Amino acid sequence: MKLWFGYGSEHSMNLVMIGRFEDARDAVRAKQLIDRVIEKVSEDVAAGLIDFDGSTERFSKEMTEFLQNEKVYNLAPAELEQFAYDVAVEVKGSTLVLRTDECDVSAFLKLLIDHRARVEVFSAHHHPETKSDEKV
């Protein structure tokens, strides 16, 4: 009998990213930026300007202008795919909570840190959320 062990990408990370800001307005601004980037990526995918086939090496002219207008300077073209993933983002006071089943979250981390957040990232599989987390 052979036993097969393999790796599959269908595993759910159940990842939680918490950004804590000094001010509730900063948390709201960070969420609004994330929402705008998600919307722009979705538009560009629909228009055929972005293709997630692994060959994204450069931003389109439209995306470059968008990111410059939003003052986002630290994303890599390959990270745009992360904004096409299913994520839930909510703001509670001065805290932003992002939940996703994906493991590639560097783009979100960069945006939060760039907006002066203190960031905590963990898998809810290994660290179930507690009563104190419900306040976030």
Summarize pLDDT for 47-90 with one digit per residue, the tens.
888 887 766 678 989 999 999 999 999 999 999 999 998 999 99
Q: Is residue 35 part of a domain?
A: yes
Domain count, the chain: 1
What pLDDT was estimated at residue 112? 98
Q: Is residue 74 part of a domain?
A: yes
Residue 18 has pLDDT above 60, yes or no: yes
Q: Is residue 2 part of a domain?
A: no
Residue with the larger pLDDT of the pair 95 and 51: 95
Q: Is residue 1 part of a domain?
A: no
What pLDDT was estimated at residue 2? 43
Range of 30-34, 79-83, 99-103, 120-124 with top mean pLDDT: 30-34
What pLDDT was estimated at residue 129? 66
Summarize pLDDT for 111-127 with one digit per residue, the tens.
999 999 999 999 877 76
Q: Is residue 36 part of a domain?
A: yes
pTM of the model: 0.83
Distance, CA of 114 to CA of 132 (rounded, Å): 26
Scanning the chain, the segments in alpha helix (DSSP H) are 24-46, 61-69, 106-114
> What percentage of residues in the chain have a pLDDT greater than 70?
82
Distance, CA of 128 to CA of 125 (rounded, Å): 6
Residue 100 has pLDDT above 90, yes or no: yes
Domain that holds residue 72: 15-127
C-beta separation of 67 from 59 below 8 A: yes
φ and ψ of 124, to 5 deg = -70, -15
Q: Is residue 121 part of a domain?
A: yes
Q: Is residue 32 part of a domain?
A: yes
